[in-house]
Each structure stands twice: as C-alpha cells, then as structure tokens.
Structure 1
Amino acid sequence: MLYRLDQAPKLGSRFEHYHRDVRDSLIAKASQWLQAKPGQATATLYGHHLAQYYLEQLQQHFEPEKKADFRQRYARLVQGNAAPTAYLQEALTYKPYLGISDFEFATNWVRRLDPVVNERVLSKWGLVPQDEWFPPC
C-alpha cells in the first residue's frame, strides 16, 4: 500500500511535499492510530487501515485551504445557462464548507437564480405578496 501512496502525489505539488514530509513516520503513526481505537490494542495494520489513516490526515491537513477555495468558488457561482437543478447540485457540493444554515443557503440559492426563474420561484413559494405578482398596467 505504501508503494501505491508513493505513486499518488503529482510531482511538485503541495501534496507531494506533504507526502514527503510524513512518509517516513506514516506506518508508525498509522499503527498508533489504529491501536488507540477501542478494541484494537493488538490490531495489525493492513493496507486498508493505512489508507484510511492517510486519507484522514490529508483531510485534516488540507481542510483549511479547501474551505477557503470552496467559499471563493461559491461566491462566484451563478446559474448562467444551467438548469436550476444543475445549479443547485453544484451549489450543494460547496455547502459543507460554507458554515451557513440551510435557510441561508436556500435564500442565497434563490437570490442568485436567473431573474426570470427567481421571480417564478418566489411567487410559487408565496414569498412575494400577491399584489406584487403582476405589475400595474
């Protein structure tokens, strides 16, 4: 498994630098991690355990920059020519990194819809008073 992990990082990437820094102590730390789990005091470290430990460490190490990147992408996200459901699916990929409530997320999503679609959604949900549905003639 370690051989496969050595092949993963792209040369010159931050991932490669991180991997090079942790590689020598990876098996020892993964063994400690596994044996610290309840009921695993004498457990043997197998490849799937090593991979699980390594993925957790990667997540922990790169999480702050991933959050910042996803927040920037979300801030630039607009519906454009995409269907509202496709736009929603893309927006939902960023949601775990935004730190906002479901209500705030839904409000932002509706607000960023194409103006014509936005108007129809707001009227359908009853968020626009009926007297404002039709402009005066």
Structure 2
Amino acid sequence: MLYLAQVHRNEFLDQYQLRLLARQEIDQVWAIIPEEAFILLGKGNTMSEKLLVLVELSPTGDIIKLEDATNWVLHLIQAYLSTGITPDFLQQEAERAEQWRQSLTLQNQDLARRSLELEARREQIQALEESIKRDKNSHNRDE
C-alpha cells in the first residue's frame, strides 16, 4: 500500500523514522491518517528532516519502495491546482451533483406517480367499455 510520509529524527533511538500522513485508498483517492503512525528506517538510513516521501509498504509493514515525493506533489499542483480545481470548487461541484440527483429522484417519482395514474385511468376506461358493452348486449336482448 502506498503512503505519503514525512521524515523525522527519533532522538531517543538515534535513527530516522517515517510519520505516515496519508494512505492511498484507490487510484487518486487518499485518506488522511489521523493518528500518529511511525515506521523506523533503521540505523544507517539518513534522510533530510521533514522531507516528504512516498513509501510503499508490504502487508506486513516492510518498506518495499521509498522515494522523494517532490515530483508527485508537483504533479498534483500541475494537474489540479493550476487548473483552478480547488477544494471549494470540488465542494460546489459535489453540491451541484447532489442537487441534480435529488431533482432527478423527484422527477422519477413524479413520472412513476403519473404512470400509476394513467394505468388506473386505463383500467377505469376498460371497465367502463365493458360495462357499456354489457348494457348494450342486455338492451339488444330485451328488444
């Protein structure tokens, strides 16, 4: 699993560690890790303090791959922030989509109601036609 992490120096253990900040859930969807979670890098691994890195962890928590996150962050800025896709914009779009969903739901309910009304009217007309036929047949027999 892929994580965004920040390098910290653990003074007590005299080695560097990674503080996990966010986890990739699915492609382009990330979740913030609210609790503090650290992974020790082991003695001899030296990195710049506060450096942001992308780290891929195995299911057992072993580091598979570790790379500087600078290019990844720049890609995010270029792909999203330079085109005006801001959190406010995304929120507004989500709200618009929800309004459309609600509007479509109401329209669907209205169409379903109208369909039921038409079906009921059709049945009434059929019943009336049958009643007229019976009356006509009984009237013809009486003559």
Q: TM-score normalised to the size of structure 2?
A: 0.23
Compare the two structures and name the one with the higher helix fraction. 1
Pick 1 or 2: higher relative contact order, CA cutoff 8 A, min separation 6. Answer: 2
Compare the two structures and name the one with the higher strand fraction. 2
